[in-house]
Each structure stands twice: as C-alpha cells, then as structure tokens.
Amino acid sequence: MSVKERFLRYVQVETTSCEDSETCPSTPGQWTLARMLVEELKAMGVRDARVDENGYVYGTIPAKGDHPARVGLIAHMDTSDGVKGPTHPQVIPCYDGGPIRLQNGVVIDGFDFLPSLKGRELIVTDGTSVLGADDKAGVAEIMELAALLTAPDAPEHCTVCIGFTPDEEIGRGADRFDVPGFCADYAYTVDGGPLGEMEYENFNAASCRVTVRGVNIHPGEAKNQMKNAALIAMEWNSLLPPAEIPAHTEGYEGFYHLCQMSGDEEQAELVYIIRDHSAEKFAERIATAERITAFLNARYGEGTVACVIRESYRNMRELIETRMDIVDKACAAFRSCGVEPVISPIRGGTDGARLSYMGLLCPNLSTGGYNFHGRKELIPVSSMEKMVEVLKALVTGA
Ligand SMILES: [Zn+2]
C-alpha cells in the first residue's frame, strides 16, 4: 500500500468526534479505525500493537542497528465535526491551477497557496464533508513509515513508538494517553498544516465565566433600586480592551473572546476564552478580568459579579526550550529532504502541549494538508510522500 492508498482507506472510516458523548472514544467509528490500524500494524510485524480500553492505539518498532533513542510519533484518529457526515474523497490527478468545483456549489478558489499546487495530484472532498486530512494524513504518514521500517530492506533506525489517539478535536486526546507505557524519550505529533510547518509554541489558555446577579423591580418604581444584571454584564465587557479580540489579533497577540452571553434584569452570564502565548501577559489578562470584577462589585455591591477562571492548557514553549535539540532534529530532517522548515506559534492548543506537561515533550510537525475543519480541505499526495521521507530521516538520524 502507498501512503495515498492508506489515506484514502482511512478517510472513508467516519470518525467525527462528538463533544456531547461521555464515552471514550466519543464515537464508535473511532473504534473501527483503531482496530483497523492495529491489524495493519500486526500484519507488518509490530508485535506489541494494541488498542487499549479507551481506544488509544500503541505499537513499538524496535531499533535496527545501534540507535539508543526512543522517538514517539503521534496522530489523532478523530476528525472535526465542522461539517458532519461520511467523507467521499476525490482525487484530482493533475491540478490545473484553477478553481476546484465540488458538489453543492462549493468552490475551492482564492487561496494564496493554490497556484503553487499546479500540476500536483490533489485529494479533496466531494464538497459534502471535511476531508479529514486533519489528522488522517498524519495517521497514514506514520503507518507508511511503519511499513518502511518493518520491511526486510529497512534502513537502520532508532526505536519508534507509535501512538494514535481518539478525540483530539474535542480536547480530550491527551486525557488518557499512557505516557509511561508509551516509553518514548520525546515525541512529535504529526498534526500540522502545509509541508514544512513546525510548531512548539501554543497559547496559554483559560476559560472565564462571569455571572452577574441583579435586583429586579417594576421599572416604574425602580429608581435607586434596580440593578440590571444584563446592563452590568455589558459594562463588564466594555471594560475589556476593545481591540484585543480574535478579529483584531494575529501572531503573538493574545485576546479575550466572548463566546456566549445570556441574561435579563435578574441574572446574566458571559463566557469568554482568554488566550496569550506569553505567560506574563496571560497572567495580566486574568488579573484584568479580576480587577473589572472587583471594580463592578465596588460600584454595585459585593457579590453582584463573580468571575470563575479555569486554566485549560499552557504553552509548551517553556518546556521545549530546555530541549531545543528535539526541534533542531526535526528541522534537520526537513532540510535533509529539501524542505525548509517554517516555525510559527500556534494560535490554539495541541495534544502535544498537554503531553509535554504530562512528561512527554512533543512539538508538532506538518502533515501537508490545507484548510482543515472545512469542506475545502485538501492535501497534495506529494506532500504526504515527502512527510514520510521526513519522518524516515527523523528516525534514521536519531
Ligand atoms: Zn488535528
């Protein structure tokens, strides 16, 4: 099987994860894919290939030759629920550089990167769902590498620990990852975008829930009596820096993002997410939320406003920076395959960040795909093939 054939096979297993589900994996399709991957690994001769009771797939390819390192490679099996439904992949054998017309009037056009893909073989959807290159491209690339390393003519390489996780898209991918059992010195998630992308910085992240308790009274008799919770909630929001929202920020700029609001005179609620790459600025943002709360309580009476802040994940940069050789090795692997690595901060989180704080340092590598989480998702076959080469360089050089 080629990496392309593997990819086409895996995307046809529907593995959309589901936030409302309490099981792990959250959806049955992920079991189907997990079992399929274990069977394939076993057929390659990966003797300890297994799926655990939570649907995590693990397998180890022992070193060949004198390579003491143990390098982990991780991808997630679930796909985003951005557009639900089974995936019907379409192969464009030689892309002409023009608009790509899919079903339902969906047209892939106007993206800066499109002209550079002219002449390539592309895989797209039929326009009815996501493609799921996020992250089945990562799965297929790791599986193809496993096939290369278990073949009789395999090059010398280090020990490769393989992990496929469920439910990354709903933020649970790292929850039940068996870090001690995985037994890698360090790892990489293969879950990034265009070929050459590499990431080891992500947001520090928290959720912030503001609740306002008002005092309601007949509006005709409300003078000096009413405390309108909805208005106080709006006042809370008005005290945030107005430009520090997702629609006005990029790169290393952090933000407050209002993602839910509800309320009346009696009670009001605002839900935010707070994000910043810098730990210092992140702490300042949280302090700002607390200051606004204290200010409004001083104005309207103690207990009027409450603000509960929960940390979601942290930037892995401070941990990775203690082991920059892990980043350097990946850069060298890219370069040895003729790909110039592009390191940029993730404006989000990754399972790798969570795993890094669980004791497994884990930067993120590209898969080669574009436009994740939408109907216009696509991946060039040559990028997947190149990523297999990069992964091979990584484990033969370690
Ligand atoms: Zn992903």
Average pLDDT, rounded, for the chain: 96
- Burial class, 166, CB count within 10 angstroms (exposed 0-12 / middle 13-18 / buried 19+): buried
- Determine the distance separating the centroid of ligand 1 and the alpha carbon of 264, expressed in angstroms: 39
- Determine the distance separating the centroid of ligand 1 and the alpha carbon of 220, expressed in angstroms: 55
Active site residues: 78, 168
Ranges of residues in the chain whose predicted pLDDT is under 70: none
For residue 161, list its beta bridge partners: 60, 72
In 82-177 the beta strands, taken as DSSP E runs, fall at 90-92, 100-101, 107-108, 122-124, 159-165
- Determine the distance separating the centroid of ligand 1 and the alpha carbon of 366, expressed in angstroms: 10
- Determine the distance separating the centroid of ligand 1 and the alpha carbon of 32, expressed in angstroms: 19
Please give the structure tokens belonging to residue 183.
Answer: 């037994």
Q: Domain map of the chain by residue range? A: 3-201+315-396, 204-313
pLDDT digits (tens, 9 = 90+) for 201-231: 999 999 999 999 999 999 999 999 999 999 9
pLDDT of residue 398: 72
pLDDT digits (tens, 9 = 90+) for 162-198: 999 999 999 899 999 999 999 999 999 999 999 999 9
User: What size, in residues, is the chain?
Assistant: 398
CATH topology of domain 3-201+315-396: Aminopeptidase (3.40.630)
pLDDT of residue 143: 98
pLDDT of residue 349: 85
- Determine the distance separating the centroid of ligand 1 and the alpha carbon of 361, expressed in angstroms: 18
pLDDT digits (tens, 9 = 90+) for 63-91: 999 999 999 999 999 999 878 888 999 99
Q: What is the pTM of this model?
A: 0.89
User: First and final CA of the chain: distance in angstroms?
Assistant: 26
Q: Which of 201, 200, 348 is nearest to 275 (CA)?
A: 348
- Determine the distance separating the centroid of ligand 1 and the alpha carbon of 80, expressed in angstroms: 8
Indicate the angle between helix axes 133-150 and 381-396, nearest 10 degrees.
50
- Determine the distance separating the centroid of ligand 1 and the alpha carbon of 181, expressed in angstroms: 23
Distance CA(10)–CA(290), nearest Å, equals 47
**Are 37 and 139 contacting, i.e. CB atoms less than 8 angstroms apart?**
yes
Q: Which of 6, 5, 3, 53 is nearest to 25 (CA)?
A: 53
- Determine the distance separating the centroid of ligand 1 and the alpha carbon of 236, expressed in angstroms: 34
pLDDT of residue 350: 86
Quote the Cα angle for 108-112-114, to 5°: 50
Quote the Cα angle for 389-395-398, to 5°: 135
- Burial class, 395, CB count within 10 angstroms (exposed 0-12 / middle 13-18 / buried 19+): buried
Half-sphere exposure of residue 273: CA atoms within 13 angstroms, side-chain side: 13
pLDDT of residue 54: 98
- Determine the distance separating the centroid of ligand 1 and the alpha carbon of 271, expressed in angstroms: 25
Cβ-Cβ contacts under 8 Å for 125 (sequence gap 6 or more): 87, 88, 89, 90, 102, 131, 375, 377
Distance CA(156)–CA(102), nearest Å, equals 44
CATH match for 204-313 among 3.30.70.360, 3.20.20.70, 3.40.30.10, 3.90.1570.10: 3.30.70.360
For residue 76, list its beta bridge partners: 165
For residue 366, list its beta bridge partners: 192
